[in-house]
Chains A and B, each alone.
Chain A
Amino acid sequence: MSEVEIALTEAGRHRWRIEPHPPMRVPGVVFANDALLPQAAGDRALEQVANVATLPGIVRASYAMPDVHWGYGFPIGGVAATDVEQGGVVSPGGVGFDISCGVRLLAAGVGRDELDAERLRRLMDLLDRTVPRGLGRGGLWHLAGPEELDDLLLGGARYAVEHGHGVPRDLERCEDRGVLAGAAPGEVSTRAVERGLQQVGSLGSANHFLEVQAVDRVHDPETAAAFGLRPGQVCVMIHCGSRGLGHQICTDHVRAMDRELHRYRIELPDRQLACTPVDSPRGRAYLGAMTAAANYGRANRQLLSEAARRAFATALGVGLELVYDVSHNLAKLETHEVDGVARRLCVHRKGATRALPPGDPDLPADLAEAGQPVLVPGTMGTASYVMVGLPGNEAFSSACHGAGRVWSRHQALRMVRGERLRAELEAHGIAVRPASMRALAEETPQAYKDVDAVAAVTEAAGLARQVARLVPLGVCKG
């Protein structure tokens, strides 16, 4: 694979531009400071920003969030919108393999000062035993068969709540009230169903986790209160997606679109950008299957929330209230104004979070004045952020989704030993329950960008505003 030199020009505070040289149709725009720009040897994220700008129907720009890093096809931390009525395409690579991978934050009825080392150890041991993760098929919910899985693909988190896994208020605090309309289980392959059938209610591995955190600092007390957060509060953050089902759907549809590119005379610089017009049989089929996977991801996080609630009730005798649940790997049909005209767009967010501003009609009533919570997980050794959407966000109301990797897993394994990392974290009061020591080492905090800088640049660039900073107390690592 040969590397392409990408020239960046500074175009505002924490804003960089890649000029639209053919075959790019729009410029690339990167939100970053010098330190956050992809710099690792071989990291080709900026080349991917330019490649995305070649997609048919793309409007305004190919955007990169401050946590951008190298993905496949699209960069991770990429946002691109295509105009549906102008032949705009949908690209499964612009969603990612882990469809509806996302983050859920729950607030506990207990403060950090009430959680001594012994109570934390008991809680973490319970979570360790009851949260499925790593290798294996065992999810928390044993579905009766493919027919029940179809119901879950249509109903998402709402289906889970209707079957006793959670409370109705949870749905008010989920993006799309926990269920994205338009799911087409008929477009989900048998293989995807077989992979997904036994994984509902499981974390997976790699960067997925369930973390017990505490509110370390509140930047905006009024908004934090609207979200249900206060200083010192204990929280639970869950990061996971649609498991094997979502990956198989992406695989199936990328392969099919790759074979059919000639039908629409689409030429691409990278096969993983395979795409098709949104308004085409294949485009509709993908969006129907993607939506089904999105609902699976939401149900998955709903089940894991229930496991966390049981552990908190048993170990501490307290409950957990949902703050918010948001996907950061998704394509959505949204209306945005482009060049003064309201247009129907297919907005791809791959490793990027929707960030609705105060007053947006899609917000639940109790968040209408505050705006949408934007959940930004950092690392198990540093911090995570809760931010809020801002008006005037040029990247189609999108913000960062995490810290963003800078080290390869390969480099992390060369630099860090899992046992030593665990001892260091424990010495800082962070209880660690890993699925494997090597997988823990791959996720060392040094492998990521500085999440404080990512949050600060995200705010300075006008994408979202900081509300609260959370620090880890304990982590169940996938």
Chain B
Amino acid sequence: MRYFAQRFGFFILSLWAAITINFLLPRFMPGNPAEVMITRYQGRLNPLVLHSLELQFGISHQPLWQQYVTYVQNMIHGQFGLSITYYPVPVISVIENSLPWTLGLAGTATVVSSILGVLLGIFAAWKRGGMADTLLPVVTTFTSAIPYQWLALLLLYIFGFSLGWFPTAHSYSATLSPSLHPAFIGNVLDHAILPATTMIVTALGGWLLGMRNNMIHTLGEDYVVFAEAKGVTQKRLKYMYAARNAMLPSLTGFGMALGFVVGGSVLVESVFSYPGIGYQLVTAVQNEDYPLMQGLFLIIAVSVLLANFIVEMLYGKLDPRVKKGGAGRS
């Protein structure tokens, strides 16, 4: 219970930090970017909307702390204001429409790449010094240094444009309407394959290396040597004894990896015009749609924080030591 409270406290604290960053940034940037934006839209937007924009971005005579209190209240209630790009659609509904796409895409990509990477890591460590162990880490150092957008462009060109195997943009064909019909689901998967592959390829290396190193460490532990001496079968030794324990540190990496994937998905979605959070973020930035941008940033942060929180909870279940605070984690 104490562990839960601690983790939950941390979740709230980081959420508060994300909101505060959002609040402070436009207010302390040189040249007051929000003011520039608002004067640009003078006469083009409803004066009431302009006024609420002014309040949201700190162009008012209220003292800072008062602005801050109102701001935090608005954020907690999901009142992110109106999007300028999609005027007069509220930011929250833009988010509602795009979040599922990113969660589906980035979530699947993370799960697939982590499972694949961990399995390959186990394999490399087990065949220590073999062909796979020498080659895999080197190959994956290359793949994990590839810029997301570059790989995305190449895949798009080769498999989408030249070969015509996969669609080149959007999350489903315009001729279909969203439903749970198999044809629609197949269409969605078809659209997701290239962007997901981009993320999986670039994220694989981290998982592989981390797992390999942990696995080698675990294989050197006394209890593994003892189990081998006791005559435990090789397969059991590999998965039940070594891999199971070596996987724990990889699991804590999961939450952070999600953060990277979300970052990467910004670039990938922008190349594939995939209508997720990342694509909207780029659109917002290009249109200087600050309310939309702030809302999206907050939602991205919250998703990563939540994922982290869930992983921490799972971790507490899987490794009871952390609950007792023995492992020195704060």
Q: Do A and B bind each other?
A: no
Interface residues of A (CB under 8 A from B): none
